[in-house]
Structure 1
Amino acid sequence: MTMAALVVAELLLVILTYQVMASIECRQTEIEAACRALRSMTARGLAVMTVMALYFWLRPAAYRALADRAIAAPGHQVWMLFHLTGLVLIFLPLPLFGTAEISRAFTPTLVLLTSGGLLTALGAVFWVTPLAAWRDWMRNDSYLLPLALFIGFLVPDLADLMRPLWEWSTLSSLTFFLVFLVLTLTGFDVGVHPPTYEIGVEGFWVQIASQCSGVEGIALITIFMGFYAALMRPDLRQKRFWLILVPLAVLASWLFNILRIAILIIIGVRVSPEHALNGFHSYAGWLMFTALALLIVLIAHRAQWLHRSPLPQHSATTLRQDTLAAKIVPFIVMMLSGVFVSAFWPDPAAGYPVRALLMALALLVFLPAIRALWSRPSLESLAVGLAVGVLWIVTAPSQELPATDAPSLFWITTRLLGTILLVPLIEELFFRGYLLRRLHRDTLVWTILAVAISSLLFGLMHDRFLAGTLAGVAFGLLYLRRAETSDAIAAHIVANATIALAALLTAKWALI
């Protein structure tokens, strides 16, 4: 579970980096086809992660068997170095070429991302347990997981195969009409050109082409529902499942896609045409369809009429007290909230209140576990935090920090809450409480590696990479002094509070 959660967090960081901070425009690259294939890895990775999560959720016995093998025969630490080397290669194009020129230097970027992705994946797999243990475990489980992961990887290709469905004129015309109806009911003056399925509002026109038909969502629904049926086949009432629930799920996916197209047009009219086409349209659809597919699977799993035996009663108490989940899950929520806000807001900073709400909810879920991890911080942690905050302020590039009009009071309040309390808690629980603690060994070499690796990844979370990395080193050394996460959390809170106070007094919000 820990490795899976770490890979999820890393993939979300890669998505944020290359689709938000440094978006690659394929039309500006030397190899457009290769670029588009690379961009499809976001959807493939999301599908693979979802399949893996469903597998371990629905087959707890298989998960326990794998966990026992990993404990009895853990992978060699050299695979951790492979994994981390791959991560370095993935992010290396940023300092080498910069966010503005990365599309023009696509060939070396492609080489670095491809080789880094392979090293990262191989390192993660064999860091868990050796090949022989994996082979024995998969043989006992009829090789179901690798088959399912392979199918998940092919989801975009399966969606392409389903696109001929869009040629059915009745379906395409009905979709076009319903999008028109939704926009009309919301009060817009809508223009249409039925022969080419073009629809426009206030000068913003889109063509509802095969890419907008929703076949990707139908493919996701079909694959995930089929995977669920395969895993639950002894207990599932298959006729009810396939003849009632699956058609309803496909219908829900189609209607959901109509709503998605309407939202895309509204964003293009009211927010930004460029953001609607290059931001929301690029990857928000995959996130929305995946969330819908998971919701339908959850409904199926909780519906007693679909199962032959009584459903077990699940309790959230154990999860809320799980300290390992408390260190990882809020960080994943924070990363997902960044992807979500970037999809719906052209300026992601404007959507920060939504991010703050999601982060606060994630922390509230695991409040019992966080309380168990908390202890009284040392006075040294307060001093270190103050020093980090002051250094961050005095080393800030002045040309990048213009004084601006103050945002709304609500935005300022949520931004301060997130900066001072929520982000330090989430980041320190993950980077020091989980990652540094997992990497640390009782030798000088491993101590240096643990601090360096966790700090470098922490630095990637910040616009000022060097300053963020050095702050991570300070928090890491403070954690190692007493092996108390609360010391790192307290230092991070003090540092961010110092920076937030400076931003509040000077109206230089770019500081935070």
Structure 2
Amino acid sequence: MSTSAEPRPQTFDALPTVTRSFMPYIAPMFAYVALGSLESYLPSPGWYPAAYAAKAAIVAAIMWYYRSTWNDLRPAPGVLDVLLAVATGLVVIALWIGLDGRYPDLPFMGGARKAFDPDVLGPAGKAAFIAVRLLGLVLLVPVFEELFWRSFLIRWLIDQDFWKVPIGRVTWISALVCSAFFALAHPEWLPALLTGLLWAGLLAYTKSVSACVISHVVANLALGIYVIATKAWKFW
């Protein structure tokens, strides 16, 4: 019998530093996209509210596990930066709604977003679904998307040792490429492209990922209010 110790299974702490650094940025985003891609396989549209609630819960749990990444959100932006972030968020939602129907759908991206009408759930079910949907739209998505797009990817495009790149450093190439990928991640590709460029500019000016999160929150909250008020469910 050999007396040599058997190799220990690789744990998270044993992973290379670069892998450990990447995971908090990509794990919530990957989980949200991967779980979202499974929604097309639901037996019927009626399963969507439960599927979305499960997705939101899983992503929230991953975000809580990797909450130390939220150091990227410090320090808090100043008053003028917050005002600029709010204004940018309102411009974003104006583009999102104003450009609707003015650009072609791209079939290779899945075409237009498929709408789910919560009126089929009845009053109580509709209220519960809208509450959960707003929670994901306003509190979860802005945080993990900005950590991925404007904290991780835009710096990684400058230097793969991205943690060495100061937050807020943006080049034309990193802004354009990051915004292009952001556009490809949304059926509303044209407003998404313009939004990516606006938030890259906001990041470069404020040097604050938190300012981008605030702007994203404002845009998503405004979109949610618009969707509920007009029943334009196709936007979410």
How far apart, in 2, do the equivalents of 1:314 and 1:500 lie?
Answer: 38
How far apart, in 1, do the equivalents of 2:116 and 2:22 lie?
Answer: 41
TM-score (ref. length: structure 1): 0.35
How far apart, in 2, do the equivalents of 1:344 and 1:404 lie?
Answer: 16
Aligned to 1:465: 189
The residue type paired with residue 454 of structure 1 is C
Asked if the contact 1:429/1:485 (under 8 Å) is kept, the reply is: yes
Matched, 1:478 2:202: yes
Matched, 1:235 2:6: yes
Residues 420-441 of structure 1: CA deviation (Å, up to 9, x unaligned): 1211111111111111112237
Aligned to 2:95: 391
How far apart, in 2, do the equivalents of 1:397 and 1:466 lie?
Answer: 11
Aligned to 1:411: 129
Aligned to 2:162: none
Shift of the 418–361 alpha-carbon distance from structure 1 to 2, 3 Å rule, reads same
The residue type paired with residue 353 of structure 1 is A
1:497 is matched with which residue: 217, 221, 236? 221
Matched, 1:365 2:83: no
2:75 is matched with which residue: 372, 375, 378? 375
Q: Highest Rg: 1 or 2?
A: 1
Deviation of 1:492 (Å): 0.9
Shift of the 449–371 alpha-carbon distance from structure 1 to 2, 3 Å rule, reads closer
Aligned to 1:431: 149
Shift of the 402–483 alpha-carbon distance from structure 1 to 2, 3 Å rule, reads closer
The residue type paired with residue 227 of structure 2 is A
Aligned to 1:86: none
Aligned to 1:99: none
How far apart, in 2, do the equivalents of 1:497 and 1:393 lie?
Answer: 13
Deviation of 1:484 (Å): 1.8
Shift of the 505–403 alpha-carbon distance from structure 1 to 2, 3 Å rule, reads farther
Asked if the contact 1:403/1:507 (under 8 Å) is kept, the reply is: no
How far apart, in 2, do the equivalents of 1:323 and 1:481 lie?
Answer: 25
Q: Which SS does the other structure have where 1:414 is aligned?
A: helix
How far apart, in 1, do the equivalents of 2:23 and 2:5 lie?
Answer: 30
The residue type paired with residue 64 of structure 2 is L
Residues 8-53 of structure 1: CA deviation (Å, up to 9, x unaligned): xxxxxxxxxxxxxxxxxxxxxxxxxxxxxxxxxxxxxxxxxxxxxx
Asked if the contact 2:115/2:235 (under 8 Å) is kept, the reply is: no
Asked if the contact 1:403/1:508 (under 8 Å) is kept, the reply is: no
**% identical equivalent positions:** 25
Deviation of 1:472 (Å): 0.8
Shift of the 436–349 alpha-carbon distance from structure 1 to 2, 3 Å rule, reads farther
How far apart, in 2, do the equivalents of 1:495 and 1:349 lie?
Answer: 24
- In angstroms, what is the RMSD of aligned CA positions? 3.4
Greater fraction of residues in helix: 1
Deviation of 1:314 (Å): 7.8
Q: Which runs of 4+ in 1 moved over 6 A?
A: 312-315, 400-403
Residues 125-172 of structure 1: CA deviation (Å, up to 9, x unaligned): xxxxxxxxxxxxxxxxxxxxxxxxxxxxxxxxxxxxxxxxxxxxxxxx
The residue type paired with residue 393 of structure 1 is I
Aligned 1:234-383 pairs, distance under 5 A = 235=6, 301=9, 324-347=22-45, 349-350=48-49, 351-371=51-71, 373-377=73-77, 378=81, 379-383=83-87
Deviation of 1:387 (Å): 1.2
Residues 358-417 of structure 1: CA deviation (Å, up to 9, x unaligned): 11111111223314533323221111011111221222239x899956352221111111
How far apart, in 1, do the equivalents of 2:30 and 2:209 lie?
Answer: 19
Aligned 1:117-196 pairs, distance under 5 A = none
How far apart, in 1, do the equivalents of 2:30 and 2:11 lie?
Answer: 26
How many residues are paired up?
A: 199
How far apart, in 2, do the equivalents of 1:359 and 1:313 lie?
Answer: 21
Shift of the 402–434 alpha-carbon distance from structure 1 to 2, 3 Å rule, reads closer
Asked if the contact 2:72/2:147 (under 8 Å) is kept, the reply is: no
How far apart, in 2, do the equivalents of 1:456 and 1:475 lie?
Answer: 13
Asked if the contact 1:390/1:499 (under 8 Å) is kept, the reply is: no
Q: Which SS does the other structure have where 1:462 is aligned?
A: coil
Asked if the contact 1:337/1:358 (under 8 Å) is kept, the reply is: no
How far apart, in 2, do the equivalents of 1:405 and 1:506 lie?
Answer: 13
How far apart, in 2, do the equivalents of 1:364 and 1:403 lie?
Answer: 28
How far apart, in 1, do the equivalents of 2:185 and 2:115 lie?
Answer: 22
Shift of the 354–341 alpha-carbon distance from structure 1 to 2, 3 Å rule, reads farther
Shift of the 415–405 alpha-carbon distance from structure 1 to 2, 3 Å rule, reads closer
Aligned to 1:292: none
Q: Which runs of 5+ in 2 are unaligned?
A: 103-111, 160-164
